[in-house]
Amino acid sequence: MPPSPEQLRHMLRQMQTIRRFEERASADYHAGEIYGVVHCYIGEEAVAVGVCAALERDDQIISTHRGHGHCIAKGADLNRMMAELYGRETGYCKGKGGSMHIADFDIGMLGANGIVAGGISIVTGAGLAAQLAGNGRVAVSFFGDGAANAGPFHESINVAAAWKLPMLYVCENNLYAAQTPADGTTATIDIAARGAGYGIPGVVVDGNDVLAVHEAAREAVARARAGDGPTLIECKTYRWRAHTERPTQPDYRPPDEITAWKKLDPVARLVEHLKSHQGQFSDDEWRRMDQEILAEIETSVGYARSSPFPAPEAALEDVFAD
C-alpha cells in the first residue's frame, strides 16, 4: 500500500532529522567537539527513509561508513547517537566507536561499518539466519557505488540469489567513491544491470524521490517475504557535502554539478508533494516540525555534553583482543 498522509509526514520528519542532525554534527566537528571522522549523508536522505519505511522493526539492516541516515531511519535514539559522536560513555558504543560504529540490535540496526563493502556479507548472513529460522524477517544491505566494485558485493549477491535469501541490496549510487568518479572505475552506467548476471531483478530508482524509493522497496520486501529471493535496487543520488568533514580532504567535484543536484533536494520535493497532494500541509506546519526537530537535536547535544568520557581503565573492555 502506498504511504498514508501520516506516514508521509513521518518520513519527512525523519529526512529532516537526518539533515539537521548532520548539520549539527558537522558544525560541532569543525568546532573541535567531535572526534574521529564524520561522513555526511545530507542529500541522500530519501534512500534510507524510503527503504526503512517499507520495513518492520525486527527486519534488519546494515549500513556503511556514511551511517547516520540509516540509523535515524531505522529508529535509533538521537541522544545515544550524538553521545557516541562526542565520544561519551552514554553513546551507543560507550563512546569508543564514533560515527562509523553505531549499532542498535534492538531496532534491527546491525551497524555502520568503516570497511567499504564489509557490511554486505555480514547482512547476507542475517538474511540466511532469517531464512533458517523461518521468522519472516527481511535483511537489507545499504552500500555505495564504490562498494559495488568490491568482492563482497558479488559473492554475497551470488549466494543470496542461489539460495533465495530474503534480502534487499540497496546501492546508493552518488557517482563517487571518495574522490573517484564512478565513470572512471565502472564501465556500466547502471549498477542495477548487474542483477541480471545473478538472476535477480535489478531496479534503477530516482534516489532523491522518497516515494519512488519506497515503492521499489515495498515491492522488493514483498518478494523477499514471499520466498522469491533478493532484489538489487540502485538509487541514483548525490551527497551534498565533501566525502568526509576532514578539512584535509577537499571536495574536487565540479561546483556546477553540486548546484544541479541541490535543485533535486529530496526534502524539498517531499514538502512540495505534501503541500500539493495533501492540502492540509502548510508552511506553518513545516516550520513547526522543523523547530521540533531542532529542539530534539539541541537536547541530544546537551545530553552528549553533559555525559562523561569513558574512564581510561575501560579502554580494554568490550574489545575482542587484549
Ligand X SMILES: Cc1ncc(C[n+]2csc(CCOP(=O)(O)OP(=O)(O)O)c2C)c(N)n1
Task: List residues near ligand X by CB under 6 A.
Answer: 64-66, 114-116, 144-147, 172, 174, 176-178, 243
Query: What is the footprint of Mg ion within residues 125-164 (CB under 5 A)?
Result: 144-146
- Which of Mg ion, ligand X, none binds 202 (CB below 5-8 Å, type-dependent)? none
Report in angstroms how near the CB of residue 183 gets to Mg ion at its nearest: 12
Please check whether residue 212 is in contact with residue 275, taking contact to mean a CB–CB distance below 8 angstroms.
no
Report in angstroms how near the CB of residue 111 gets to ligand X at its nearest: 14
* CA–CA separation, 303 and 298 (whole Å): 9
Using CB under 5 A, count the residues that bind Mg ion: 5
Which CB, 54 or 182, lies closer to Mg ion? 182
- Which of ligand X, Mg ion, none binds 128 (CB below 5-8 Å, type-dependent)? none
Please check whether residue 269 is in contact with residue 45, taking contact to mean a CB–CB distance below 8 angstroms.
no
Q: Is the dihedral of CA 112, 205, 269, 55 positive or negative?
A: negative
Which CB, 234 or 290, lies closer to Mg ion? 234
Per-residue binding string, Mg ion, 160-189, x by CB under 5 A, is --------------x--x------------
* Grid coordinates given for 201: 531483478
Report in angstroms how near the CB of residue 117 gets to Mg ion at its nearest: 12
Report in angstroms how near the CB of residue 70 gets to ligand X at its nearest: 11
293 exposed, middle or buried (CB, 10 Å; 0-12, 13-18, 19+)? buried
Give the other-Cβ count within 10 Å of 69's Cβ: 30
In sequence order, the 6+-apart residues with CB closer than 8 A to the CB of 74 are 52, 55, 61, 104, 107, 108, 109
* Grid coordinates given for 264: 533535486
* CA–CA separation, 110 and 243 (whole Å): 23
Report in angstroms how near the CB of residue 161 gets to Mg ion at its nearest: 23
Footprint of Mg ion on this chain (CB under 5 A)? 144-146, 174, 177
